[in-house]
């Protein structure tokens, strides 16, 4: 419906030369998406009957009690793998594992479980967006051997896992969880309690690596190289391999890739909406499933809102206003995916984003670098205090507001209403109450 409306505007507002170019580009992307759809359907219908050897992607290893899970490669396909650990020694072995390994196994293949109730989480569809169509439950590990690989993704996975294991080995709890979360985008199973508290307060997104973290590391890398004598022009090209390595160290997170693309395009003079539009086009090419996940949609929604409002805010007052605008602007999409909203998250997002991005991120980065010489763990009390504060705030806070999932038509109405309010925001100053109308539909 939205596409038809945009085509209508295109034909009536632009010359035929522009219309032809746009239709040609749309046709190319339609062909690309059709090809991707065909590949997915082909892969989902031609499943393998058995797997004898599986290659572990180290940074996906998760140990929860006696349960082990990871992503594995076999016969050019990706599998979600499960295994019940047989002993404490085997558990410690996998917790410390940071090398690329290939295992000879006996196990059973199965199709992932779909949604078990109406509008429930569809695990099968979630795995499908990652190119996974089967799960493997291992009954016996016959042999495990270290291997080497020329695959960049596999080597970056191993490097990320090495960093995670190093942090866990040299830093105490809870400091290590914040270090792996903010630097590498990795939150382990022992962080589940705090994860639930952050989620209930509506601020778990501060652990989602995005523009602030990418900007911090890119700027730090740039300053270092410029001090070493490199020119600005040389850095533009060195930034590409650095971005690839950083994306790998964060697990090729959707939000990190989006932020890196925007940063790289900005170096070549693309700003504001041009930058955002080109970023989305590139994402459609390199990550066709980007917008099939809630993380991808929310990441681009945040970026779009910041692009539209970022130039209008300055100072602390501006940051508060920005936090308020983002929280309200993203509300329709949040309610569509999660059906609830925590009002307190508006204030908490501002306070904790400032604390995490301006204090903890630089501090933990420095401590991680120094840990290769001597680990400094004396600041762990700061994170213990932080968790006590989170628990206290969680006890005082009210339950999230449950709106239910709006229909696609209601979601479209809300988004169009917000767009109109933004376009006519100067006139709405006389009629402030009208700007609240879109949110009355949640009542």
**pLDDT of 153 above 80:** yes
Domain match, 264 and 390 both: yes
Residue 342 lies in a domain: yes
Domain match, 139 and 228 both: no
* Average pLDDT value for residue range 426-437: 54
**pLDDT of 102 above 80:** yes
Could you say which of 104, 124, 148 is where a domain stops?
Answer: 148
Residue 341 lies in a domain: yes
Using a pLDDT cut of 70, give the percent of the chain over it: 89
* Average pLDDT value for residue range 233-255: 89
pTM of the model: 0.85
* Average pLDDT value for residue range 245-262: 90
* Average pLDDT value for residue range 433-439: 53
* Average pLDDT value for residue range 184-206: 82
Domain match, 218 and 142 both: no
Could you say which of 104, 130, 148 is where a domain stops?
Answer: 148
Residue 260 lies in a domain: yes
pLDDT at 16: 80
Domain match, 240 and 320 both: yes
Could you say which of 148, 173, 192 is where a domain stops?
Answer: 148
Cβ partners under 8 Å of residue 223, min gap 6: none
pLDDT tens column, 353-382: 778 888 899 999 999 999 989 999 999 999
φ/ψ of 206, rounded to 5, equals: -70, -15
SS3 state of residue 254: helix
Q: In angstroms, rounded to a whole number, what is the distance separating the alpha carbons of residues 440 and 422?
A: 17
pLDDT at 321: 67
**pLDDT of 301 above 70:** yes
Domain match, 386 and 241 both: yes
**Residue 339, domain extent:** 200-405
Residue 129 lies in a domain: yes
Domain match, 383 and 238 both: yes
CATH of the domain at 128: 2.40.50
DSSP at 290: G
Domain match, 236 and 336 both: yes
SS3 state of residue 165: helix
**pLDDT of 313 above 50:** no
Residue 59 lies in a domain: yes
Domain match, 262 and 139 both: no
Domain match, 299 and 212 both: yes
Domain match, 342 and 247 both: yes
Domain match, 272 and 351 both: yes
Residue 361 lies in a domain: yes
| Contact call for residues 371 and 176 (beta carbons, < 8 A) | no
Q: In angstroms, rounded to a whole number, what is the distance separating the alpha carbons of residues 76 and 151?
A: 12
Nearest to 167 by CA among 188, 153, 148, 147: 188
Residue 220 lies in a domain: yes
pLDDT band (50, 70, 90) for residue 429: low
Average pLDDT, the chain: 83
- Number of separate domains in the chain: 2
Residue 58 lies in a domain: yes
The token duo for 38 is 């065909």
């Amino acid at each position: 419906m939205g596409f038809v409306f945009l085509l209508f505007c295109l034909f009536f507002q632009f010359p035929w030369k522009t219309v032809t170019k746009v239709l040609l580009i749309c046709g190319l992307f339609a062909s690309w998406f059709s090809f991707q759809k065909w590949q997915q359907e082909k892969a989902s219908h031609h499943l393998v009957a058995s797997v004898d050897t599986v290659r572990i992607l180290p940074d996906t290893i998760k140990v929860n009690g006696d349960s082990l899970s990871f992503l594995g490669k076999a016969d050019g396909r990706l599998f979600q793998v499960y295994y019940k650990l047989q002993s404490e020694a085997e558990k410690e072995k996998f917790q410390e594992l940071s090398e690329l390994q290939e295992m000879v196994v006996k196990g059973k293949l199965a199709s992932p479980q779909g949604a078990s109730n109406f509008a429930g989480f569809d695990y099968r569809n979630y795995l499908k967006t990652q190119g996974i169509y089967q799960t493997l439950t291992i009954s016996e590990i016959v042999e495990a051997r270290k291997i080497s690989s020329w695959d960049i993704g596999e080597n970056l996975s191993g490097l990320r896992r090495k960093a995670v294991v190093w942090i866990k080995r040299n830093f105490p709890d809870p400091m290590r969880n914040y270090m792996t979360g903010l630097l590498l985008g990795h939150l382990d199973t022992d962080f589940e309690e705090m994860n639930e508290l952050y989620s209930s307060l509506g601020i778990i997104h501060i652990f989602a690596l995005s523009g602030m973290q990418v900007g911090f590391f890119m700027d730090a890398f740039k300053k270092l190289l410029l001090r070493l004598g490199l020119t600005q022009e040389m850095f533009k090209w060195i930034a590409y391999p650095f971005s690839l390595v950083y994306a790998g160290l964060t697990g090729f997170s959707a939000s990190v890739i989006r932020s890196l693309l925007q940063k790289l395009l900005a170096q070549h003079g693309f700003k504001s909406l041009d930058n955002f539009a080109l970023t989305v086009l590139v994402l459609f090419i390199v990550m066709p499933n980007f917008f099939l996940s809630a993380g991808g949609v929310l990441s681009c929604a945040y970026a779009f809102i910041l692009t539209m409002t970022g130039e209008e805010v300055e100072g602390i007052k501006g940051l508060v206003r920005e936090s308020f605008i983002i929280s309200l602007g993203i509300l329709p999409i949040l309610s569509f995916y999660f059906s609830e909203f925590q009002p307190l998250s508006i204030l908490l997002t501002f306070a904790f984003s400032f604390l995490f991005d301006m204090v903890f991120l630089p501090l933990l980065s420095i401590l991680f670098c120094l840990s290769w010489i001597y680990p400094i763990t004396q600041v762990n009390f700061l994170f213990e205090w932080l968790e006590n504060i989170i628990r206290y705030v969680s006890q005082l806070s009210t339950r999230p507001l449950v709106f239910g999932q709006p229909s696609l038509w209601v979601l479209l109405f809300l988004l169009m209403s917000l767009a109109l309010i933004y376009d006519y925001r100067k006139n709405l100053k006389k009629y402030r109450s009208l700007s609240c109308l879109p949110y009355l539909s949640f009542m």
